[in-house]
Structure 1
Amino acid sequence: MPRFRYQAYGADGAFAEGTIEAASAAAADAALWAQGLSPFQMRSLDGGGTQWWNREIAFGGGSARGDLLAFTREFSTLCSADIPMDDALRIVQAQTAAARLKTLVEALLAEVLNGRPLSEAMQGQSRIFPADYVAVVRAGESGGRLAQVLSELAELLERRAEIVARIQSALIYPAMLIVLSLVTLAIIIGGVIPSMAPIFTQSGKPVPLTIQAMLALKAHWLEILIASAAALALLGAAIAFAMTDAQRRQRLDRLVLRLPLLGSFLLQQDTARFARTLGTMLLAGVPLIAATRSASEVVGNRHLRAGLDQAIEAVQQGTALHRSLREAVSLPAVALQMIAVGEEAGKLDRMLVRVAEMLEKQLQTRVDRFMAALTPAMTVGIAVIIGALIMPVMTAVLSINDLAGR
């Protein structure tokens, strides 16, 4: 029977982890709930499991992320209109044109019609629904706030998708500039320069060093390409080896946070992810310790995550969240201050969402400014590179014409 390693929390908020044998991940999860534990992470020890959380700024990855967003938005809208759950699922299944989403909703509907709660039905689709998503839905079911919880989850997913889409859109023009510049350089090196080289040999003048270098580059491009690929492969292997050790990766992540500009950007990004996820889970009624543990899983930086784990341990011992975060993690000062105000006022969930919104706006402003400066800088840089290649050639050609005129 397959074995699974789990991490869970008890009714008193105590952390627990261990291994369990079950026919599937859903069966293992159900067995833990029967024991009074609330699992938030499940991993197969037999190589058959799938990674339940993808840390790239959204739940799931690739097409799974799009399926989850589309389902959550449509289903939450129908539930908010007081349509029964089974009818809402049927409507979503009938309206969607995506085959993957239609199959997903069909499986959920079958489980719901068999009497299973929606959260348990979602556990059987772990590739689409991550563990903390299911935990939020379960909390909404138990509190009778499923429609509101689904709306909050849809907003969370849409905000993350919007950030990714805006960054991708901002990168389109610089990417086109790079591609066009490479095409221009290829035309100059592969076509223009070889046609000009005979002019120097026929006139008896030495070939300029710039033209010699470009001719050598054209003659040995395959060797250069293979050497570059080998160097990149070695670099990738070295990085992969460094990532296999948790302590080395944590040290590397700590160094990354100290980099100018990039470090503060990544810190704000991870803080916004953590705050929005934690705020959404608290709004759904998930207990603080369990919600904080799940929210820490969205943080990509291992150094920050280690600090959050220390803060969670302090919270379990009775320390206020803002104090434990201030002592264990180097989060932005304004975020810590707002969390302290929200906790003291008894509105921590809403304040965390405000923190996330504030940081996300700041991140978008920084991205827009960076892209606004990057585009003209790249244009000037490419023009300088092409001009540096063309000018020696034109100078040499003009000198030959001068000699011919004399």
Structure 2
Amino acid sequence: MANFAYKGRDAAGKLVEGVLDGISAGNVADLLLGRGITPLSIQETRGGAKLVDLGVNLSLFKLKVEHVDILLFSRQIHTLLKAGVPIMRALGGLQESATNPAMKAVIGDVKESLEAGRELSVSLARHPKVFGSFYISMVRVGEATGLLDEIFLRLFDHMEFERYMREQVKAALRYPMFVVMAMAAAIVVVNLFVIPAFAKVFQGFGAELPLMTRILLGFSNFMVAWWPAMLVGLVAAVFAFRAWVATTGGRMQWEALTLRFPIAGKIISKAAMARFSRSFALSMRSGVPVMQALTNAAQTVDNSYIAAKIEGMRDTVERGESVLRAAISSHFFTPVVLQMISVGEESGALDDMLDEVGQMYQREVEYELKTLGQQIEPILIVCLGVLVLVLALGIFLPMWDLGKVAVKR
């Protein structure tokens, strides 16, 4: 038996951490679910042995379950259950038709767990890295209400929305990132190869060089002499940043800082608002209690700082306050969202109002992403122009001065 460190949430939605002994991660998941804890992550804690374990090393090279695999699984099992196909037969068919070996193994394990007498939500929870706590909570609601097929359809729609948002962000950032990388490469090449060649020419002038030229030559000499140290420093900075972001506090500080970025900040904020509204409305519409719905929504916003704000809302509601007052105290939601929440609570249609909010912010995010290139392009042009101007002044001013001296002679 090995030790497993786990993180999970109890029935009240509070975060629980600890260490348990178990034969496997699935066995620990069963123990946690038996205690009323929904596992979020389960990791083996054998220290250095984990680095040399052959199974772990091989797992680095094997295929993993992708987002699209879970998306297709949700859609296909909805279709099969709606058609009246028994769950065991449906899982057997999905296992045979799965093209990803990792997903095929997961479905097979879920099927075996069901055959052992466990519930579907418990069987899915044995794979916390594949099926998140939001997914498992929704499946548990579907089991309790008898609307499992409808729940899988709603999960499919929600995951399709998440996938669309991520792809749009990647597509919008592809061109700016390419330009920035090209500019950085150009700076390195110019300073390491071009300016040193001109420096030999300038040495033969025998005259004082302009300030801009001296600055360029000094920076180029520094890069030529210290480029190995700069490269090591850059790599160390990247690893230090990744280690800092990997911590809970560091990740929250970084993701809070990203909300203040000039252009990307408002897109991240609106995307988080859309995710929160859609997931909260989905949970409420499916019969999930308000506090559990807030916990589920916090897990879908993809920003730990905003998630902490929503968790604060859950604590406020737990004290007996309304969702509106909890939203106001979080200091995150815009007046439009607060007004929609107020109307939704008064009319008893909070899920419909939040679904409208989610659709509204989804349209706004789509527009922002479509115009992102147009917003960033002027900034990139100005930066590129400044770079070219500095290089031109630094390199050609001495030649211009030399030309004027030659004409006077």
Question: What is the SS of the residue equivalent to 1:109?
Answer: helix
Structure 2 equivalent of residue 89 of structure 1: 91
Determine whether 1:268 maps to 2:270. Answer: yes
In 2, distance between residues paired with 1:19 and 1:289?
23
Determine whether 1:75 maps to 2:77. Answer: yes
Which of 338, 341, 345 is the matching residue for 1:339? Answer: 341
After superposition, the Cα gap between the structure-2 partners of 1:373 and 1:324, relative to the gap in structure 1 and judged at 3 Å, is closer
CA contact (8 A) 1:304 1:329 kept: no
User: 5+ residue gaps in structure 1?
Assistant: 50-61
1:235-271 Cα deviation digits (max 9, x unpaired): 985996799685x987887777677766655443333
**For the aligned residues, what is the CA RMSD?**
3.9
Which of 212, 226, 230 is the matching residue for 2:229? Answer: 226
Structure 2 equivalent of residue 198 of structure 1: 200
Pairing of 1:138-177 with structure 2 (within 5 A): 138-177=140-179
After superposition, the Cα gap between the structure-2 partners of 1:225 and 1:358, relative to the gap in structure 1 and judged at 3 Å, is farther
Structure 1 equivalent of residue 387 of structure 2: 385
CA contact (8 A) 1:308 1:329 kept: no
In 1, distance between residues paired with 2:274 and 2:235?
32
- Give the CA deviation at 1:356: 1.7
CA contact (8 A) 2:39 2:128 kept: no
After superposition, the Cα gap between the structure-2 partners of 1:41 and 1:109, relative to the gap in structure 1 and judged at 3 Å, is closer
1:323-355 Cα deviation digits (max 9, x unpaired): 332244431221122122223333322332222
The TM-score, its normalising length taken from structure 2, stands at 0.77
1:36-61 Cα deviation digits (max 9, x unpaired): x4x34456697379xxxxxxxxxxxx
After superposition, the Cα gap between the structure-2 partners of 1:263 and 1:142, relative to the gap in structure 1 and judged at 3 Å, is same
In 2, distance between residues paired with 1:164 and 1:203?
56
In 1, distance between residues paired with 2:231 and 2:314?
45
In 1, distance between residues paired with 2:257 and 2:182?
35
Could you tell me which amino acid in structure 1 is paired with residue 383 of structure 2? G
In 2, distance between residues paired with 1:178 and 1:260?
17
Structure 1 equivalent of residue 351 of structure 2: 349
CA contact (8 A) 2:81 2:90 kept: yes
In 1, distance between residues paired with 2:20 and 2:203?
79
After superposition, the Cα gap between the structure-2 partners of 1:298 and 1:320, relative to the gap in structure 1 and judged at 3 Å, is same
- Give the CA deviation at 1:294: 2.7
Residues 135-144 or 310-319, more deviating:
310-319
In 1, distance between residues paired with 2:245 and 2:92?
48
- Give the CA deviation at 1:288: 2.3
CA contact (8 A) 1:25 1:42 kept: no
After superposition, the Cα gap between the structure-2 partners of 1:134 and 1:381, relative to the gap in structure 1 and judged at 3 Å, is same
- Give the CA deviation at 1:372: 1.2
Which of 129, 144, 158 is the matching residue for 1:127? Answer: 129
In 1, distance between residues paired with 2:163 and 2:124?
21
Residues 19-28 or 132-141, more deviating:
19-28
In 2, distance between residues paired with 1:255 and 1:393?
38
Which of 270, 283, 286 is the matching residue for 1:284? Answer: 286
CA contact (8 A) 2:41 2:129 kept: no
In 2, distance between residues paired with 1:16 and 1:178?
40
Which of 313, 319, 322 is the matching residue for 2:321? Answer: 319
Question: What is the SS of the residue equivalent to 2:204?
Answer: helix
Question: What is the SS of the residue equivalent to 2:371?
Answer: helix
- The count of corresponding residues between Structure 1 and Structure 2 is 388
- Give the CA deviation at 1:17: 5.8
Which of 182, 185, 204 is the matching residue for 1:183? Answer: 185
Could you tell me which amino acid in structure 2 is paired with residue 339 of structure 1? I
- Give the CA deviation at 1:32: 6.1
Which of 30, 43, 47 is the matching residue for 2:45? Answer: 47
- Give the CA deviation at 1:149: 0.8
- Give the CA deviation at 1:139: 1.2
CA contact (8 A) 2:121 2:140 kept: yes
Could you tell me which amino acid in structure 1 is paired with residue 364 of structure 2? Q
- Give the CA deviation at 1:227: 4.8
Question: What is the SS of the residue equivalent to 2:45?
Answer: coil
CA contact (8 A) 1:250 1:302 kept: yes
- Give the CA deviation at 1:382: 0.6
After superposition, the Cα gap between the structure-2 partners of 1:321 and 1:41, relative to the gap in structure 1 and judged at 3 Å, is farther
- Give the CA deviation at 1:152: 0.9
Question: What is the SS of the residue equivalent to 1:220?
Answer: helix
Counting aligned pairs with the same residue, the percent is: 23
Structure 2 equivalent of residue 56 of structure 1: none
In 2, distance between residues paired with 1:237 and 1:387?
34
Residues 162-171 or 355-364, more deviating:
355-364
CA contact (8 A) 2:310 2:330 kept: yes
Structure 2 equivalent of residue 104 of structure 1: 106
Residues 388-397 or 254-263, more deviating:
254-263
In 2, distance between residues paired with 1:45 and 1:189?
47
CA contact (8 A) 2:29 2:39 kept: no
In 2, distance between residues paired with 1:245 and 1:281?
26
Could you tell me which amino acid in structure 2 is paired with residue 226 of structure 1? A
After superposition, the Cα gap between the structure-2 partners of 1:83 and 1:16, relative to the gap in structure 1 and judged at 3 Å, is same
CA contact (8 A) 1:67 1:128 kept: no
In 2, distance between residues paired with 1:109 and 1:293?
28
